[in-house]
């Protein structure tokens, strides 16, 4: 039997889809927003918002792999960076909301003669950070729990990369191939 026929009957190993980094970044950001929104909501009801750091990192990794069509170490690193950015933004919006509510209370009590809109409080919230160091603790705990959440994925990816690839399965013999062998004998 010549090589042309043999090549037709052999099966190539299925190729992994090519990683689409740009779509992966978009997916990581969109999925990480779930964790950011959770942070904001939990913070507003007075619950420990730090657990959302774990949710944010896991969602970002899943979003990257879903949109990029592939998991990779690069994707995990990108997802972690995006999750940190989203958590930081959510943390800052919580601070801005507290500044906004404080200004409303101070104005109602007659302590100040002006108030801020919510968007103005977003613009100027950083000025209140030196007065309230507890906000940094909240962010730190969220990022720490997010880091704990990503260790499992990093470990799993490293194990996948170190494991040898399975050998491709032999192609099943077809009737045509068997008849060629019988004719040669």
pLDDT of residue 101: 92
Q: The whole model's pTM is what?
A: 0.73
Q: Report the distance separating Cα 87 and Cα 48, nearest Å.
A: 14
Report d(CA 29, CA 78) in Å as an integer. Answer: 10
- Give the percent of the chain with pLDDT over 90: 30
Could you give the CA distance from residue 116 to residue 106 in angstroms, rounded to a whole number?
11
pLDDT of residue 162: 74
Q: 43-47, 85-89, 154-158: lowest mean pLDDT where?
A: 154-158
Which residue do the tokens 């099966």 mark?
11
Per-residue pLDDT, 33:
95
What is the pLDDT at residue 14?
57
For 45-174, where are the alpha helices, taking DSSP H only? 51-68, 73-108, 118-124, 134-162
- What's residue 145's pLDDT? 80
């Amino acid at each position: 039997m010549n090589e042309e026929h043999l090549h037709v009957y052999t099966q190539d190993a299925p190729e992994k889809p090519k990683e689409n980094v740009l779509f992966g970044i978009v997916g990581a950001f969109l999925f990480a927003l779930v964790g950011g929104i959770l942070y904001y909501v939990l913070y507003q009801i007075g619950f420990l918002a730090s657990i959302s750091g774990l949710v944010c990192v896991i969602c970002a990794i899943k979003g990257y792999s879903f949109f990029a069509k592939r998991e990779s170490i690069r994707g995990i690193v990108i997802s972690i960076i995006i999750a940190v950015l989203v958590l930081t933004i959510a943390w800052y919006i919580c601070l801005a909301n507290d500044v906004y509510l404080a200004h409303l209370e101070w104005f109602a009590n007659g302590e100040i003669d002006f108030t801020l809109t919510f968007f103005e409080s977003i613009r100027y919230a950083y000025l209140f950070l030196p007065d309230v160091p507890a906000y940094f603790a909240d962010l730190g705990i969220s990022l720490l729990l997010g880091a704990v959440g990503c260790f499992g994925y990093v470990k799993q990816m490293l194990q996948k990369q170190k494991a040898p690839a399975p050998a491709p399965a032999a192609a099943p013999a077809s009737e045509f191939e068997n008849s060629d062998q019988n004719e040669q004998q």
